[in-house]
Structure 1
Amino acid sequence: MPELTVAGRHWTVAAGSNLLDALNGAGVAVPYSCRAGSCHACLVQCVGGDVRDSRPDALSPAQRDQGWRLACQCQVVEDVQIHTFDPQRDGQAAHVAAVDWLGGEVLRLRVTPERALRYRAGQHLVLWAGEVARPYSLASLPEEDRFLEFHLDCREPGQFIEAARQMKAGDPIRLGELRGGALHYDPDWHERPLWLLAAGTGLAPLFGLLREALRQHHQGAIRLIHVAHDAAGHYLAKPLAALAAKHQDLSVELLTTAEAPSALAQLRLVSRQTQALLCGHPDRVEAFAKRLYLAGLPRNQLLADVFLPRG
């Protein structure tokens, strides 16, 4: 059986084992979110030997030449030595600026890095609380906010969630590498209808992208749909209403899980030039995408990020 080596530890795994599972199963903390090769949270470096990679196109040739691989997309087929991210050595120092609740289930975490972080709306970042890590999408906008903002879904328990619940202003936190993800705002969409469909805290990056589109004076109509378990789950209802009141071409629809199927079935494209951005749980994103395809949206005009729950 092939042998894995990480930071002086050695252990054998079954041939063909998923690298991410093999690392996390042995207690080596490698964060992840999408498991589809999109979020890049599980990036590791092969410094000896190699792995079978099912998504070689997900990284640049330069990254691959340096041994970087997405652990979720790789199988262990031979002895391999792995370098993983060390938050104390490789991470950026930051501190908690504020922690508060948006409704009863979403914790808003605002973080200030010691050095300015250059990022774009829609990107995500791995947060480290001690040895516990989790990737989160940025809800903040670099041109307007002096902090990094994250929305944490606290409905299910998790190690990072439990750590975040105890955080207070001034506490230290480490930042991992900034990742691109699938979502962004393209100025070439300036005059197109823009649809933003979010489920749960999938609203976080779309809130940043909505503000970016408005900052760039997007000329097409913008339609935002947020699906939550119940009315209390619409945790950004007030700021969204304020934006809609200020921008006449922005419409905001807040749906519960029970209301969503019938409402989505009524979706009709106003233009085949519509650009759609989707984010949330994989099942919900799949339902959004299916409805949009049935409505006639070309597949190359849909971008999506998915959030996987993790204990």
Structure 2
Amino acid sequence: MPELRAGGRSWAVASGSNLLDSLNSAGCAVPYSCRAGSCHACLVRCSAGAPLDAKPEALDAARRADGWRLACQCQVVDDLTVELFDPLRDGLPARVEACDWLSPTVLRLRLHADRPLRYRAGQHLVLWSASGVARPYSLASLPGEDPWLEFHLDCRLPGTFCDAARQLQVGDALRLGELRGGALHYDPDWQQRPLWLLAAGTGLAPLWGLLREALRQEHQGPIRLLHLAREPAEHYLAEPLQTLAARHPNLHVELLHGAELPAAMADLRLVSRQTIALLCGHPGSVESFARRLYLAGLPRNQQLADVFLPHA
């Protein structure tokens, strides 16, 4: 049986054991969210030995060369020494600049990092609370224009990080972990093409940044943004979206709640087969969007999606 070493301890584990489960069952308390290799909350550094990695492409070459791995995607097959991600040592310090409610369930969090963070619209960051809870959140801010890092937290249901976030005050300290780039981005080569942005709930957060990026780059094609919410009060960016639409004749905004979705999806019609669609939200909503777009004639390779996986 291979020996696993972490936190000054060592213990035997069955060959092929999941690294995340092996660490947590021994009390090492490695955070995780999706268990799918997407959120990067379970980042650990292998300082001796190497696990079997089911998703090597999830980390860039430099991180992998330095020994970093996603514990949820690794199996222990030989003796292995692991250093846990320490937000105080490995994270970027940040402080709360503003914390306010955009709707009854959506908390807007604005942070100021201790040093500039290079990112692009559509990426997400792992946030670490002072108590050591980590969760990934999409950036809603626009680099180069917003002087803060902005996140929209869905606090409709209880959750360890959301419960801690409800108590945050201006000036409180947080730590920033792994910066991650998902499928969502804006390509200047799309300037003349129709651009559709379809969001459910706080899936609007990254699309808010990407919409403003497209407008900043003077996107020439028509832009259609559809936001699905559970009820009208949850269209938490309705006013700024309508303000943008008034300023930009090529932008059309649709705000829908649950009961209106089937009819709206049935009415989707492509204006061009060159359309690019960016989709974001929980799995069921994103799949519903993607299926309807495909049936309307939009190939899957012209649909870029970022799915908010529930906490595993």
Report TM bin, short chain.
over 0.9
TM-score by length of 2: 0.92
Indicate conservation of the 8 Å contact 1:127/1:174, yes or no. Answer: yes
Which amino acid is 1:84 matched to?
L
Per-residue deviation, 1:72: 2.8
Which amino acid is 1:138 matched to?
L
1:196 and 1:27, CA in 2 relative to 1: closer, same or farther beyond 3 A?
farther
Separation in structure 2 between the aligned mates of residue 29 and residue 210 of structure 1, nearest angstrom: 38
Per-residue deviation, 1:16: 3.4
Per the alignment, residue 274 of structure 1 pairs with 275
Q: Residue 278 of structure 2 aligns to a residue in which SS?
A: strand
1:15-164 mapped onto 2 (5 Å cutoff): 15-130=15-130, 131-164=132-165
Q: Residue 185 of structure 1 aligns to a residue in which SS?
A: coil
TM-score by length of 1: 0.92
Which runs of 5 or more residues in structure 2 are unaligned? Answer: none
Indicate conservation of the 8 Å contact 2:39/2:126, yes or no. Answer: no
Per the alignment, residue 295 of structure 2 pairs with 294
Which runs of 5 or more residues in structure 1 are unaligned? Answer: none
Per-residue deviation, 1:28: 3.7
Per-residue deviation, 1:235: 0.8
Identity of aligned residues (%): 71
Q: Residue 258 of structure 1 aligns to a residue in which SS?
A: helix
Separation in structure 2 between the aligned mates of residue 26 and residue 257 of structure 1, nearest angstrom: 43
Residues 117-144 of structure 1, C-alpha deviation per residue, up to 9 Å, x if partnerless?
1111111111111211111111011121
Separation in structure 2 between the aligned mates of residue 293 and residue 92 of structure 1, nearest angstrom: 41
Count, aligned residues? 311
1:23 and 1:135, CA in 2 relative to 1: closer, same or farther beyond 3 A?
farther
Q: RMSD of the alignment, in Å?
A: 2.0
Per-residue deviation, 1:261: 2.3
Separation in structure 2 between the aligned mates of residue 29 and residue 205 of structure 1, nearest angstrom: 29
1:111-260 mapped onto 2 (5 Å cutoff): 111-130=111-130, 131-260=132-261
Indicate conservation of the 8 Å contact 1:31/1:126, yes or no. Answer: no
Which amino acid is 2:203 matched to?
G
Indicate conservation of the 8 Å contact 1:109/1:152, yes or no. Answer: yes
Indicate conservation of the 8 Å contact 1:123/1:183, yes or no. Answer: yes
Separation in structure 2 between the aligned mates of residue 253 and residue 211 of structure 1, nearest angstrom: 16
1:19 and 1:229, CA in 2 relative to 1: closer, same or farther beyond 3 A?
farther
Per the alignment, residue 8 of structure 1 pairs with 8
Per-residue deviation, 1:218: 0.7
1:29 and 1:303, CA in 2 relative to 1: closer, same or farther beyond 3 A?
farther
